[in-house]
Amino acid sequence: MEADFVIVGAGSAGCAMAYRLSEAGASVLVIEHGGTDVGPFIQMPAALSYPMSMSRYDWGYTSEPEPGLGGRRLATPRGKVIGGSSSINGMVYVRGHARDFDHWADQGAQGWGFADVLPYFKRMENWHDGGHGGDPSWRGTDGPLHVTRGPRRNPLFHAFVEAGKQAGYPVTDDYNGYQQEGFGPMEQTVWKGRRWSAAHAYLRPALKRENCDLVRGLARKVVIEDGRATGVEIERGGKVDVLRARREVILAASSINSPKLLMLSGIGPAKHLAEHGIDVVADRPGVGQNLQDHLEVYFQMAASQPITLFKYWNLWGKALIGAQWLFTKTGLGASNNFESAAFIRSRAGVEYPDIQYHFMPIAVRYDGKAASEGHGFQAHTGPMRAQSRGEVTLKSADAKEAPRIFFNYMSEEQDWVDFRACLRLTREIFQQEAFKPYVKREILPGADKVSDADLDAFVREHAESAYHPCGTARMGAADDPRSVVDPECRVIGVDGLRLADSSIFPRITNGNLNGPSIMAGEKAADHILGRDPLPKANEQAWIHPEWETSQR
């Protein structure tokens, strides 16, 4: 059990690296604790609320009680299955804003500015505009990851975009292209009616090669000899084995499990490791720190016409949709039903969008609980760049024990200011003329909730994670004590060890994290292979010309 590279985690970044490293002729072993992704709950896009809450596919993590949210513990799903979280997520595809990556570079992640990462987004994409416009010159068309758009048949998808226009916001044909800011179609990692996860896009083709294998097991720690990572200790079937890496060990186990593994291997804050009796190999205070996430609410409206997806929200309706999907891979089951989107700025002086909308023509929560009103529609929305920072730490030195996850949500006053602004701007959008034929009343927060105190109470009680944890092994300059990996994804202080997944993000990106996580794997693969990075892009993203003085 030995290979050139041993990758821990068959998730978004891990699958991309397995594909690129094996494509280059290197031998690769991928360790995954979870099992197969075969089954209708994962493959059917509309069934997205199921795998996220199934212990078979999810690690089942929860946060510590969050003081900013009234002491609630929030679910923190992470994929425990091939494809990782790309097999249980909402399949929404967002690259992030150009300025997100420029900020990374400014923070010490040199070579990860927008001009550097855009070629990797293009390399990974197989983009299908479906005749809906978009920015072809900004997109990739022959990569492994299929990106499509929903049919947007429901009139509410168009009402949402029209309402944005009426409120004075721009419309954009392609938020993953030249102009992110504005209202328009949403993109999804769905192909031919099926969830197109990193397992489909990257891992299955890689495993067809003789030099790539998948090993089922729980990674316990990285084996480090004389300051160099030489393998990974895993447990499977009650036995402990070591998989040896001739060239490098690569961690891609998620922003929760990658820092946990580093700490179990003696890499992390020395004092914290000592508390758990772990010998310190490298004192890196940044490991597990800098935890970020997107917090969202469901802004729900009751509908005055029975045109929402609620009419299928019964056993018979779900059976019909399921049967149509099973036999034809078409119909409502073939979309995640997030088909319109928006990115706006919360106030003048904010350079690029800091609020995101996922619009859905049904009032239902991620866990599948429908609003008591019946017919309704909603926008998932929240600020994109919260200032609060949390941490992932060990509960014990036992690899089987879940780590302690503390997001520290809403711990900064600015986060409350931003959330109130977000709720008031959202209410204004739903009050536009375009929604007049469809709106009965506001369900959540409720039209009477107008004061700061009312809105704060709503957030405290109802805000949920968008499941975008990141930042716990931040990338930066090698001489920065807060950095965990350098700009080539090498873990600082240990030879032969790299890390690439959403842990390395210095700051959370704008939108959903699956796209940037796969990109991190794609780009890291070139660093690992010692290749020159792809030539920089020349494209300049649109920034609102009056951003300094105007909110829209």
Query: Catalytic residue among 375, 380, 468, 544, which?
Result: 468
State the CB neighbour count (10 A cutoff) for residue 158: 14
- Written as six digits, the tokens of 401 are 């024990």
14 is in an annotated binding site: no
493 labeled binding residue: no
Is 89 known to sit in a ligand binding site? yes
Q: What is the DSSP string of 48-62?
A: TTTGGG-TTTB--EE
CA atoms within 13 A on the CB side of 305: 9
Cβ(337)–Cβ(361) below 8 Å: yes
HSE (side-chain half, CA atoms, 13 Å) at 84: 29
Q: Is 81 annotated as a binding residue?
A: yes
Q: List the beta bridge partners of residue 381.
A: 297, 357
Listed in sequence order, the residues at least 6 apart from 516 whose beta carbon sits closer than 8 Å to its beta carbon are 95, 96, 502, 505, 509
Could you write out the DSSP letters of every residue in 321-356? HHHHHHHHS-SGGGS-S--EEEEE-SSTT--S--EE
Three-state SS string over 144-193 comes to CEEEEECCCCCHHHHHHHHHHHHCCCCECCCCCCCCCCEEEECEECEECC
Nearest alpha-carbon partner for 225 in 499, 498, 27, 494: 494
Query: DSSP letters of 490-510?
Result: BBTTSBTEEE-SGGG-SS--S
Q: 342-365 burial, b if ≥16 CB within 10 A, otherwise e?
A: bbbbbeeebebbbbbbbbbbbbbe
User: What residues pair up with 357 in beta bridges, in sequence order?
Assistant: 342, 381
- Reading the block at residue 480, the tokens are 């920065």
Three-state DSSP at 441 gives strand
- β-strands 497-499, 239-251: how paired? parallel
Contact 81, 37 (CB under 8 A): yes
Distance, first Cα to last Cα, the chain: 58
Residue 336 annotated as part of some ligand binding site = no
Q: 445: cis peptide before it, omega within 30°? A: yes
> Is-catalytic flag, 468?
yes
Q: Which of 407, 387, 538 is nearest to 470 (CA)?
A: 407
Triad 435, 438, 441: Cα angle to 5°: 90
Q: What stretches of 56-161 adopt beta strand conformation (E)?
A: 61-62, 75-76, 125-127, 145-149
Q: Is residue 314 packed enough to be buried (19+ CB in 10 Å), middle (13-18) or exposed (0-12)?
A: exposed
- Taking alpha carbons only, the member of 125, 241, 252, 140 closest to residue 191 is 125
In whole angstroms, give the CA distance from residue 404 to residue 395.
6
303 near 440, Cβ under 8 Å?
yes
Q: Which residues are catalytic?
A: 468
Which residue ranges are tagged as binding site for FAD?
81, 89-92
Residues in the annotated binding site: 81, 89-92
